């Protein structure tokens, strides 16, 4: 174990958002994560080019692949939580091939299937779902918002978290998401804004839970503001872009730096990586 690993002993250091692919570098990345003191990952479902929902009978084959990757990861000694759901950009491809009405129907079914996996305790969250992070036409935008609202309703019914992919995090976006969650009867503690800026203060996030992208400056800003946040790399495991978005060893390295620089304590890190994860996911 590295020096970082020794420093972080006793803290269940968690990367709150990673993706794995069958053709990626999962094993190598996980070994690096563990060596640096990482303990737990939230594996989030991602689209697979060879398992298009409209061609393989829905999202279940893809979800099963993600669960299979989670089993492989656990064999390497890392703890793995799983989130399942239709990625919002899949609506665009489905709309081109099937038309908007059918595309929305397929996406709704994908959300419902994901919620069943949660109820079966094979996943802890619905996600990542939401809306595209780039401009789209009004019909896609409105349909995406309807699907996002439906995902919150299903999360309330399944008593689980929902992980949201949206445009760049801003206080007005968090306010909008909080309004949607309230309408669905879902607590803001169960709504995670993936790939978030360090908007940790209540007046910035309006009760939504920020999952802060683990850039060094973002993590330091977040930790100086408070402890109500999660940390993520959004690791893509894409062999065409090694290390994108951030390398899998980043979160434990950032945690070590926060301790060595006396920005937060080990108790503070335990709050972020144990208590916050339990609050959001019940795990």
Provide the residue range defining the domain that includes 267.
3-281
Interior angle at CA 122, CA 121 and CA 127, nearest 5: 105
Q: What is the secondary structure of 189-206 as a DSSP string? A: GGEEEEEE-S--SHHHHT
Whole-angstrom distance, CA of residue 138 vs CA of residue 228: 34
Output the pLDDT for position 1. 63
Output the pLDDT for position 128. 98
Structure tokens that stand for 271 in this block: 């709050």
Query: 207-237: string of b/e by CB count within 10 Å (b at 16+)?
Result: bbbbbbbbbeebbbebbeeebbbbbbbbbbb
Structure tokens that stand for 223 in this block: 């930790």
| 113-169 pLDDT per residue, tens | 999 999 999 999 999 999 999 999 999 999 999 999 999 999 999 999 999 999 999
Output the pLDDT for position 241. 84
Per residue of the chain (283 residues), give pLDDT as tens.
677 778 999 999 999 999 999 999 999 999 999 999 999 999 999 999 999 999 999 999 999 999 999 999 999 999 999 999 999 999 999 999 999 999 999 999 999 999 999 999 999 999 999 999 999 999 999 999 999 999 999 999 999 999 999 999 999 999 999 999 999 999 999 999 999 999 999 999 999 999 999 999 999 999 999 999 999 999 999 988 877 899 999 999 999 999 999 999 999 999 999 999 999 999 8
How many domains does the structure of the chain reveal?
Answer: 1
Could you tell me the CATH number of the domain that includes residue 135?
3.20.20.140
Q: How far apart are the first and last CA of the chain?
A: 25
């Amino acid at each position: 174990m590295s020096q970082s690993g020794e420093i972080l002993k006793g803290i269940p250091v968690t990367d709150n958002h990673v993706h794995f692919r069958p053709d990626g570098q999962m094993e190598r990345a996980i070994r690096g994560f563990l060596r640096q003191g990482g303990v737990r990952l939230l594996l989030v479902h991602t689209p697979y080019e060879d398992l298009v929902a409209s061609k393989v009978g829905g999202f279940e084959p893809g979800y099963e692949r993600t669960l299979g990757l989670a089993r492989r990861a656990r064999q390497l000694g890392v703890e793995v939580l799983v989130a399942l759901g239709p990625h919002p950009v899949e609506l665009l491809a489905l709309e081109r091939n099937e038309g908007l009405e059918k595309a929305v129907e397929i996406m709704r079914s994908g959300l419902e299937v994901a919620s069943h996996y949660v109820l079966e305790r094979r996943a802890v969250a619905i996600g990542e779902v939401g809306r595209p992070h780039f401009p789209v036409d009004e019909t896609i935008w409105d349909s995406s918002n309807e699907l996002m609202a439906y995902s919150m309703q299903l999360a309330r019914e399944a008593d689980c978290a929902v992980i949201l992919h949206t445009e760049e995090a801003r206080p007005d976006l968090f306010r909008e998401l909080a309004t949607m969650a309230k309408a669905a009867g879902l607590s803001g503690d169960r709504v995670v804004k993936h790939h978030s800026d360090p908007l940790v203060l209540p007046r910035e996030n309006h009760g939504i839970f920020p999952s802060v992208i683990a850039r060094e400056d973002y993590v330091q800003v977040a930790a100086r503001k408070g402890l109500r946040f999660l940390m993520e790399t959004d690791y893509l495991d894409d062999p065409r872009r090694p290390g994108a978005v951030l390398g899998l060893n980043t979160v434990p390295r950032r945690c070590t730096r926060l301790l060595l620089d006396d920005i937060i304590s080990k108790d503070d890190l335990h709050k972020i990586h144990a208590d916050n994860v339990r609050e959001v996911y019940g795990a």
